[in-house]
């Protein structure tokens, strides 16, 4: 149950809403008005927004070497202690994959949105850095980023180390294993990131849940925080999720198509 005491004054959109489900890119009037009138917008993204760039989701079966592993089996501190080499190599494989792809129209639409509204907050569960490569500024990374590395023992960022060929490489200070700077299951999220995400979600007029299965917490609680504070919640996803029944509008389709369409609701770009 969300405690409304946290809600910040803001969301003026309540009267626009009736729960609308739509399949084609035509947008219901209520959604256009909510988008058009919004001054504080939050977008929460998941792996789905990177699919059209060629990055598989967590739900998608892993391919090749990794086919025999479920992501949540590899993305834990326990898995790293058990077999640091295989976990390091999985993240190295994901880093190479992400380096070969480009942001897509969905990422770019959010860059444009950030330019067009007074307060735009982009919160991502993705560790691929594609939002930043598209030009999004000040992205709140809830689960870290593949491009950074930490010392597993001292839990501090490490940006250079001697490549002795050992996998994983060792921390130049304490000799401990190095690990990717991502949040593994059963690990705490960066306190500053989750605090900023909660604050923005409780103050927004419109909350966009884009390309996420809404299963992983605490990220999955953010749209409920926003809704409880009066925001209009919009889901962009080709499939249903546990959130679908609770949103005001859902755009059933790929983010790379639906987000540029949604952007048209903002009207012509100024100047
Ligand atoms: C924690 C980084 C405190 C690593 C990740 C409350 C209830 C139940 C469980 C819990 C709870 N609170 C905590 C838990 C446990 C756990 C959790 O939530 N478990 C789940 C599985 C039930 N949470 C944690 O452990 C969190 N930490 O709570 O700490 C604590 C600490 C100590 C002890 C106790 C508690 C940490 C969670 C973060 C884990 N790290 N990533 C890495 O990337 O390797 S999570 C990772 O998985 C992603 O970051 C993301 O969050 C998640 C995958 O979800 P999505 O991004 O949504 O992707 P998915 O593949 O699932 O879905 C894709 C969607 O896209 C689909 O819906 C699909 O239809 C859609 N789609 C497809 N194509 C498109 C599209 N959409 C649009 N366009 C398209 N073209």
The answer, yes or no, to whether any atom of ligand 1 lies below 6 A from the CB of 78, is no
**pLDDT score for 269:** 75
Say whether 217 is catalytic.
no
Percent of the chain whose pLDDT exceeds 90: 79
CA distance 247 to 11: 15
Residue length of the chain: 271
Question: Do residues 93 and 62 make contact, with C-beta atoms less than 8 angstroms apart?
Answer: no
CA distance 56 to 62: 8
**Which residue's alpha carbon is at the smallest distance from atom 14 of ligand 1?**
217
Measured in Å, residue 217 CA sits from the centre of ligand 1 at: 6
**pLDDT score for 16:** 43
Mean pLDDT of 180-191: 97
Full strand arrangement of the beta sheet holding 40-45: 20-22, 249-251, 232-236, 206-210, 40-45, 119-124, 140-141
**pLDDT score for 14:** 47
Give the containing element (helix H, strand E) for 77. helix 77-82
Predicted structure pTM score:
0.93
Task: Estimate to the nearest angstrom the gap between the alpha carbon of 196 and the chain centroid.
Answer: 14
| Residue 18 scores a pLDDT above 60 | no
Joined tokens for residue 86:
């295989």
| Residue 112 scores a pLDDT above 50 | yes
Residue of higher predicted confidence among 18 and 154: 154
Catalytic residue among 6, 23, 119, 143: 143
């Amino acid at each position: 149950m969300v405690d409304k005491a946290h809600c910040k004054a803001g969301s003026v959109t309540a009267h626009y809403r009736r729960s609308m489900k739509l399949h084609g890119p035509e947008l219901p009037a209520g959604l256009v008005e909510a988008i058009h009138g919004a001054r504080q917008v939050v977008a929460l993204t998941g792996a789905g927004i990177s699919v059209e760039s060629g990055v598989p989701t967590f739900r998608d079966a892993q391919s090749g070497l990794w086919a025999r592993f479920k992501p949540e089996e590899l993305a834990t501190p326990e898995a790293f202690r058990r077999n640091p080499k295989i976990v390091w190599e999985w993240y190295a494989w994901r880093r190479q994959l992400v380096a070969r792809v480009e942001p897509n129209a969905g990422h770019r639409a959010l860059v444009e949105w950030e330019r067009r509204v007074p307060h735009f907050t982009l919160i991502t569960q993705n560790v691929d850095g594609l939002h930043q490569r598209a030009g999004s500024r000040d992205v709140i990374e809830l689960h870290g980023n593949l491009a950074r590395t930490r010392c597993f023992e001292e839990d501090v960022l490490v940006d250079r180390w001697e490549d002795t060929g050992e996998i994983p490489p060792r921390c130049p200070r304490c000799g401990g294993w190095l690990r990717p700077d991502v949040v593994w299951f059963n690990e705490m999220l960066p306190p500053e990131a989750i605090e900023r995400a909660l604050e923005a979600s409780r103050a927004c007029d419109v909350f966009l849940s884009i390309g996420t299965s809404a299963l992983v917490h605490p990220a999955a609680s953010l749209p409920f925080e926003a809704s409880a504070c009066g925001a209009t919640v919009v889901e962009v996803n080709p499939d249903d999720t546990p959130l679908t029944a609770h949103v005001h509008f859902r755009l059933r389709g790929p983010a790379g198509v639906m987000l540029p369409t949604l952007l048209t609701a903002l009207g012509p770009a100024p100047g």
